Amino acid sequence: MPFRLLVADDSSMQRKVIKRRISEAFADREVEFLDARDGREALACAREESPDLVLLDLTMPEMDGFEALRQIRAARPDVPVVVVSADVQPLARERVREAGAVAFLEKPLDGAALAEVLRDHGIG
């Protein structure tokens, strides 16, 4: 069974970077990537596609990552959400923890930190 990973970021470049990092770190693991370009798409995808984990940006159009996180956690409390954001305010970090994110990773993304978080949450 592939590991189904939802990557929600309005930047297609950022989604590509994340996928490349994960494919390099877990070359022996089959990973199926699901894409979302904003919070609404992320929420719809989390509801309909049953991902194993969500990587979620915060600053996105339509619905921001804070709201998407709250709604994804309400709809799919079994799915871990990792926030990947350039919003490095301590309050942002605190709020996503309170809303149920399992980890917060800063942009620009550190590939080793991403791999470690994914390992802790079932990809390995």
Partner 1 sequence: MIDFSEDDYDVLREIANVAMGRAAADLAELLGVFVELTVPRLEVVSGDDLLVRLQDTAEKFDEVSAIRQSFTSAVDGEVITLFNQAVVSTVADLLGYEGRLDPAKEREVLLDVSNILVGACLNGMGGLMNTEMRFGAPSLLCEWMDVRRFLAKMFAPERLDWEYTLVIKIAFALEEREFKSDLLVFLSERSVGVVGASIESYLDNL
Binding positions for partner 1, rule: CB under 8 A: 10-14, 17, 58-61, 85-92, 95, 107-109
Closest to partner 1 by CB, 79 or 92: 92
**Tally of CB atoms within 10 A around 121:** 17
Residue 21 CB, shortest distance to partner 1, in Å, is 9
Residues paired with residue 81 on neighbouring β-strands, in sequence order: 54
DSSP structural state of residue 106:
E
Closest to partner 1 by CB, 70 or 76: 70
Q: Determine if residue 10 is left, alpha or beta; phi over 0 gives left, psi from -120 to 50 gives alpha, anything else beta.
A: alpha
Residues paired with residue 103 on neighbouring β-strands, in sequence order: 82
Residue 121 CB, shortest distance to partner 1, in Å, is 23
Residue 14 CB, shortest distance to partner 1, in Å, is 6
